[in-house]
């Protein structure tokens, strides 16, 4: 199944055998989950989309252990829950280690994540690195911390993944994250580039995986609310997302409100690139194009 079939209809038939998915007796993370029809449909949809992304991008090839980045936000909680669900069912043959990087933000509630992860029996590592002080020192007063903070966090997560013997760092970026990144690069970076579902890091020793690539942010929010995850706010440092990303989020929301289904269409477009109809001579040999004239015998 390709991306077009995957996201044309979120409520289309799910992967083989999954329409009779037994939602009882699963991982402890779902012990207090709702039993409503609407929640079960949402849960099945997320399972289907994650399985599809894992399959489409061959995320399991050569994989034995994943480090799952856990920020305390709705998306990383949701990612972990779906992966645990798949693992519990024998559909994800990799070991999972949840990891939170405590970056030293003021008033960060250090107890929430370790207590939650222990309560559901998940192997985890909580790492303290005061990158907050570095960001405060480097970013001018009034600036947003998110970009530098993210780079420092990613470097530490790579290190931890290596120390834990993991093959990949797994992150909770979803459909909207990918689209917003594409338009930020399009409008401000002058390039066609998004956020890939599977990436090899610069050192070529770790994969970065995004199994939620097909999942909608709205679904992740509904899932987190229903699951009652102990959410940690992302504004502890006093800095919010950059104005550029917020503008892209508002633009995409406006387009979707006026023309429902456009986000899915945009995501499909990212999976159907035609280099001959763009303007990059590095991707397509425009100089090599030649007209083929009919021979005299054919004439």
CA distance 73 to 39: 20
Is residue 124 within 8 Å of 98, Cβ to Cβ?
yes
DSSP assignment of 155-173 equals: HHHHHHHHHTT-SEEE---
Is residue 34 within 8 Å of 191, Cβ to Cβ?
no
Helix-, strand-, coil-residue percentages of the chain, each rounded to 5: 45, 10, 45
Paired sense of beta strands 65-69 and 124-128, if any: unpaired
Residue 99 labeled ligand binder? no
CA distance 47 to 42: 9
Roughly how many angstroms between the first and final C-alpha of the chain, as a whole number? 45
Distances from the Cα of 141 to the Cα of 112, 126, 145, 246, 294, angstroms:
30, 30, 10, 20, 69
Residue 166 labeled ligand binder? no
- Detail the residues annotated as belonging to a binding site: 146, 149, 237
- Detail the residues annotated as belonging to a binding site for [4Fe-4S] cluster: 146, 149, 237
């Amino acid at each position: 199944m390709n991306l077009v079939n995957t996201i044309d209809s979120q409520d289309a038939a799910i992967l083989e055998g999954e329409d009779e998915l037994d939602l009882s007796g699963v991982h402890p993370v779902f012990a207090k989950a709702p039993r409503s029809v609407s929640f079960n449909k949402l849960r099945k949809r997320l399972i289907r989309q994650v399985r599809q992304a894992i399959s489409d991008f061959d995320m399991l090839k050569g994989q034995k252990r994943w480090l799952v980045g856990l920020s305390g936000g709705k998306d990383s909680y949701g990612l972990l829950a779906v992966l645990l669900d798949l693992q519990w069912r024998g559909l994800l043959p990799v070991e999972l280690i949840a990891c939170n990087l405590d970056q030293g933000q003021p008033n960060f509630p250090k107890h929430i994540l370790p207590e939650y992860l222990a309560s559901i029996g998940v192997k985890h590592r909580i790492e303290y690195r005061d990158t907050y002080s570095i960001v405060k020192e480097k970013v001018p007063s009034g600036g947003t911390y998110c970009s530098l903070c993210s780079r420092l966090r990613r470097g530490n997560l790579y290190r931890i993944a290596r120390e834990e013997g993991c093959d990949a760092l797994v992150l909770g970026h979803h459909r909207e994250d990918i689209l917003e990144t594409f338009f930020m690069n399009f409008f401000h970076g002058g390039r066609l580039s998004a956020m890939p579902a599977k990436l090899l890091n610069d050192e070529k020793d770790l994969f970065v995986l995004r199994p939620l690539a097909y999942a909608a942010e709205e679904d992740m929010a509904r899932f987190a609310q229903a699951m009652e995850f102990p959410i940690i706010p992302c504004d502890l440092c006093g800095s919010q997302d950059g104005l550029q990303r917020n503008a892209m989020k508002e633009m995409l929301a406006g387009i979707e409100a006026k023309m429902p289904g456009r986000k899915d269409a945009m995501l499909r477009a990212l999976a159907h690139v035609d280099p001959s109809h763009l303007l990059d001579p590095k991707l397509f040999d425009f100089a090599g194009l030649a007209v083929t004239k009919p021979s005299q015998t054919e004439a």
